[in-house]
Structure 1
């Protein structure tokens, strides 16, 4: 691949290149309430497409989509397609949609093209300068940071993220600028349809083995992703993460231009982390050397891992020819992402947060950040394992990570797309935890009451996991408010 970067200002030659692809003029999205699907629907609507869709239940995303003109049905039936005034030009699905889905069956019977959501997003990216953020951990936060930083530079990027930005409450946007920023999901290999100009890989650690099968196959898919980088583009890797650093070395040997960030890795770094200082309140400040320039980047969310994400976003923004000092100002304005250490409220001097961490490394990193935020208070975590296969594979690692808390409530497994496995439950993790007081609570409806009984003033409680554990934060706050109203002291379990 050739060296160099044409820059944001030279990226696109007019709106004609970004006309809505014919196949997407009338799109029907099965599972339209999902994080990825609702984002695609937002962009389609903004670009003038007729959008319909369905989902199993109501979602808060539907308010905006319906207001923008989407036709959404609750419940998935063949009639949702058959009764449309005009047949869809495409039906869009995610990996979670099974072949037996009645709407998918109806679409195929009628010869309607079926696109995976990543294929639809790739078509929407045509004519843009694309930045894709990948990696086992941190891609949602890094994608969000880069988006907010570019917005601060007044570049108005289009974006598609696996979570809602706290600033706008949106997970996607059709911008007026020439850049499209997207979270690139490796879980099912679907990111292999993208052709980014800038690709970031934050780290690589075995995950999603239910799809990839082996750690080796999981790692190999990132090499395939790197081969999708367009000529003249660049790969950005964390040099402190050895698998990502090795990916960079392999890419470089194939002629890919590689840029690196980190603290203590050997070799030349394009963005070097000189120091990180946590703040007494949430967040911290990371000092970065960028060529001959040194910058202090304020990060509003706690944890050194978040500081590293901000440096990845900074380097990606510079690669897109945005000014480093303005990017740093934008990063300081980043207020977080929904479900990434999201503050839910305070009651009886107990702060309650919600977090999406669902891999042992993520859990450990986030609990270290929670410890920083807790100060002299205790750390209480309500953890819901996600997927039976992940629970079985990483039970010991989850237990070690959760041992960083003071009190742990382990719920039963949120199976999502998987069927239950005999002998695999939340207790597989709970019985292995040491260093913390552990409570295994398989009854979801009792979890909020238990958590409210365990905390005491000064504690930080975080609900954690990729499933419906996110519902518990408000319930716990209501329990604490009710205890306060009746004069019941909060003294811990």
Structure 2
């Protein structure tokens, strides 16, 4: 596939966070870009604002006429698209070049010096931190979240160096050619794809074997490479950690040197680990540590990753993508660290029937760390219902007393009734679309 000869790029699932980053990349590099998605979202709106045509009806008639010239058209699709998708089958049956998102990302980055971030948790934040660190180095970064510093999931630079989020879903990261990479975590997940945890573990080993120069791993993971840890001996060690004026300040020992008083604004031990992983990759690449320190201090975070939507004396509203028990525990730990004396309400929308089934007890344990829980129905994404796997079933397993199943329509009203000062809205489905409504209602309540 020679991307230089391609004139048109059509995306099926263009509103996906990873898909839209590549769509933006092609658009700013002079390609004609269009695509389909199921529903309008802030992401599809932002694509339309830069001149990308997006349709929301799965019909061949919605494909722009210029894209019917198959020799000059590349079709990119996400594995989440159903097999009976009309447009996708039209392209496949008529001899178009049709590639998965991961294959296209592999093609874009294979001739760059590729810095890749893998892991079942932390990869979006870590790759966003790394992209920010590498921005003065003119790297182009493809992110799985909207970096607050750039209000984008694409940090555009030059073609010499790329930063990519290496996604284990559907074994996508095996399409990459990483030069330096890190693995943040290897917890069981995506068992609807892998079947068993051992196959997921094997995919990480396969990814590690593709790294040409240096692999960096969180200490304790069963992979060989440079290690990083907080307050433990490792090749990259963060220590002397303290909280000053609402931010972390810490020192780091590297294999060859030391740097003091790094300031970092994101709460939670897991985010300090993310910052340390990004520092390690940048250090191995050769970015001076003083420059790394400066960029860490100015990093503002990633949307839907412990994002403060309201932060006042009366009420705090946090929006987070957490959709795995480990991630929910990390949010709980961060909230307790920042607000040790306050009551906390968690609003959770489970994502996938299979994930809810596979980790039900772990979800219940993580959600029981909060004072109150409101549970939305399971967001199905790409799945059909599984008998007996419901939010009511999960609710029964949660051990705290103050818990309730709630509809999207009544969610804001239920939150308003709560006496908790801290509200954390969690999940990877469409719960993020409800946050603004909740924000407006809470601000109204506390004006009175």
Range with bigger deviation, 340-349 or 168-177:
340-349
Partner Cα separation in structure 1 for residue 193 and residue 105 of structure 2: 21
Given the alignment, which residue of 20, 26, 38 partners 1:38?
A: 20
The answer to whether 1:234 aligns with 2:201 is no
Matched, 1:129 2:113: yes
- 1:431-488 deviation per Cα after TM superposition (whole angstroms, max 9, x unaligned): 2222x343222422112211111134xx211100111112333222322344346x5x
* TM-score normalised over the length of structure 1: 0.86
Within a 5 Å distance, the mapping from 1:284-433 to structure 2 comes to: 284-290=248-254, 291-346=256-311, 349-433=314-398
User: Quick one: structure 1 residues 80 and 140, their matched pair in 2 at CA, closer, same or farther if it must change by over 3 Å?
Assistant: same
Length-normalised TM-score, structure 2: 0.94
Question: Counterpart in 2 of 1:51?
Answer: 33
The one of 96, 103, 112 equivalent to 1:119 is 103
> Which of 90, 94, 118 is matched with 1:110 structurally?
94
Relative to structure 1, the CA distance from residue 80 to residue 87 in structure 2 (aligned partners, 3 Å threshold; closer, same or farther) is: farther
Q: Does structure 1 retain, via aligned residues, the 8 Å contact 2:323–2:428?
A: yes
Instruction: List alignment gaps of at least 5 residues for structure 1.
Output: 1-18, 249-257, 488-493
Aligned pairs, how many? 445
Q: Which residue of 2 aligns with 1:144?
A: 128
Q: Are the equivalent residues in 2 in contact too, given 1:20–1:49 (CA < 8 A)? A: no
Task: Give 1:342 shift.
Answer: 0.8
Structure 2 counterpart of 1:463? 425
CA RMSD for the aligned pairs?
Answer: 2.0
Q: Is the 8 A contact 2:130 2:279 kept in 1?
A: yes
Are 2:251 and 2:258, in contact at CA under 8 Å, matched by a contact in 1? no
Name the SS of the counterpart of 2:263 in structure 1: strand
Aligned residue in 1 for 2:85:
101
Q: Tell me, in whole angstroms, the C-alpha distance in 2 between the residues paired with 1:58 and 1:355.
A: 21
Deviation readout 1:395-444 (Å, 9 max, x if unpaired): 1111111121111112221111111111111223222222x343222422
Q: Distance in 2 between matches of 1:238 and 1:379?
A: 30
Indicate how the Cα distance of structure 1 residues 224 and 25 shifts in structure 2: closer, same or farther if over 3 A, else same.
farther
SS in structure 1 opposite 2:223?
A: helix
1:161-310 correspondence runs (5 A): 161-176=143-158, 178-230=160-212, 233-239=213-219, 242=220, 244=221, 246-248=222-224, 258-263=225-230, 269-279=234-244, 281=246, 283-290=247-254, 291-310=256-275
d(CA) in 1 for partners of 2:362, 2:319: 21
> Does residue 159 of the first structure (1) align with residue 124 of the second (2)?
no
Report Cα offsets for 1:217-268 as digits up to 9, x if no partner.
01000011112112xx1101011xx3x2x212xxxxxxxxx221114656xx
Q: Aligned partners of 1:420, 1:317: CA distance in 2, in Å?
A: 44
Please, which runs of 5 or more residues in structure 2 have no aligned partner? none
Q: Distance in 1 between matches of 2:380 and 2:91?
A: 28
